Amino acid sequence: MASKFGSSTAVSSCLFLALLLETVGAASLSYNGLAQTPQMGWDTYNAYALAYNESTILTNAERLVSLGFRDLGYRVVIFDDAMTELNRSANGTLIANAAKFPSGLQSIANQLHDYGLYFGVYSSAGKYTCGGYPGSLGYETQDAAWWASMGADYLKYDNCYNEGLSGTPKLSQDRYAAMSNALNSTGRDFVYSLCNWGDDKPWEWASTIANSARISGDIQDSFSMPTTSCPCGPDEYYCQLPGYGCSVMNILGKASSIRSKNQAGYYNDLDMLEVGNGGMSYDEYKVHFSMWAAIKSPLIMGNKLDQLSPEDYAILTNPAVLAISQDPSVSAVSRTVTQQVDDKDAWGFGEVQVWQGSLSNGDQVVAFLNAGNNSRTMSYSLVDVFGGLRTNTNAQKSWDLFDVWGNHTVMSTEVAAQVLNGTLAVGNATGYYNASETTWATGLNQSNPLLIGTPAGTVQGGGTLQAEVPRHGIQMWRLRQAGGSGKKRDEL
């Protein structure tokens, strides 16, 4: 792919933009015209914390290409903190961390661009970054120019050491808008990702200055375990002490209250993906990945790509789930049913949930989530699924069902293992979809079976959806309005 993108940073930037983002008309609400579908990529922090370097970056970048992640849309590589020396130069300019990056950040950025990847940088809207390196508060214009000079394409902007400039939406908006203006003044396209943990309700103000904003404290590799460091419960969507170490179910609870704040070019960010880091089961990782995609959170992997299991690789490359993430409608699912169950886990958490949302071309997505401690049959009427109103027209339609985790949709573990060990080129792998060759929008318009899912029957209007859902597991369908007048089953 290096020859396709060329070695010129200026030329490559235009090609990157065309491949990563769907082009839209003037009616787009994106503040900078970018991120018409949620961002996808890879970040150093979850797997390496601050202990990463040039070799770490290039090893994982190569895997993004060779394992086909780049051509699925995972394109940005984010250097998460510790990019610089601990002090600025005499004139206030940032200095690249020479010990970590002996070839220089400019050289590494050029290599990423030659791979067809984006260069993602990091800072904090404070005096220091979270790792204690120079922050950008008061240096916005100077730092933005420095990143632009190296060909950076993406900024993750944190909230540590903010000098007390928070506590009201206006204080936070001013601080983050200063960097937004600085990035725009460089003349270079920057996807701008706010990481202020939901502090001061960014979903109320960030869409006019940024492409995404975090809504909660930092994620941990856990399905439902509570921690004292994440003090607010899952239904406290506005938490004045967001903290860190928040579980998947905790973050989902917060997201359920603010899903309507998404729009083309701005997304509620549920934090990075933990798939592949080993703290959750296969079914729990399926829940995590499915729900992040359906809510339209950015999908930023945070794992060691050279140590993926076949199961985790198959999750992250599932084309039917990624097609929901990258659907042109960018509409997030909402939670329509929540019920407590008796079989709670060791942490005292146990409930079942139903989530539903609209997709392009009139399709719908429905998810049954079992956060109970045992496998169970979940059964809900279309009326319940679509919000409890019998007058809802979608509840009265007949739908063909497509299982986005069906056997004919997901890459098998055997095939995934062959790709991972290098005995099978990813382009020849059954279950792989190349979104660089055929965009998600085009593939959906063509009803590509890999993007639609495995056929799973039909449900009549007013009927009932039913599925056996494993412990801490999910059943997710794409619904497509049934055609013809053939016999239909009213219960599945």
Instruction: Give the residue numbers annotated as catalytic, written as ranges.
Output: 158, 218
Within 10 A of 10 (CB to CB), how many other CB atoms are there?
10
Distance CA 101, CA 302 (A): 20
Which ranges in 317-361 belong to alpha helices (H)? 319-325
* Strand-pair category, 154-158 with 118-124: parallel
**C-alpha distances in angstroms, 123 versus 1, 106, 134, 379, 449?**
30, 17, 8, 47, 41
Render the burial of 453-488: b for 16+ CB within 10 Å, e for the rest.
bbebebbbbebbbebebbbbbbbbbbbbebeeeeeb
Q: Do the beta carbons of residue 171 and residue 153 sit within 8 Å? A: no
Q: Do the beta carbons of residue 340 and residue 253 sit within 8 Å? A: no
Instruction: Please choose, from the candidates 333, 301, 329, 302, the residue with its C-alpha nearest in 3D space to the C-alpha of residue 317.
Output: 301
Q: Do the beta carbons of residue 76 and residue 39 sit within 8 Å? A: yes
Within 10 A of 22 (CB to CB), how many other CB atoms are there?
16
Instruction: Please choose, from the candidates 284, 322, 316, 320, the residue with its C-alpha nearest in 3D space to the C-alpha of residue 456.
Output: 320
Q: Do the beta carbons of residue 69 and residue 308 sit within 8 Å? A: no
- Using the structure block, give the residue that is written with the tokens 């059954």: 430
C-alpha of 241 from chain center: 23
C-alpha of 61 from chain center: 18
Give the containing element (helix H, strand E) for 296: none
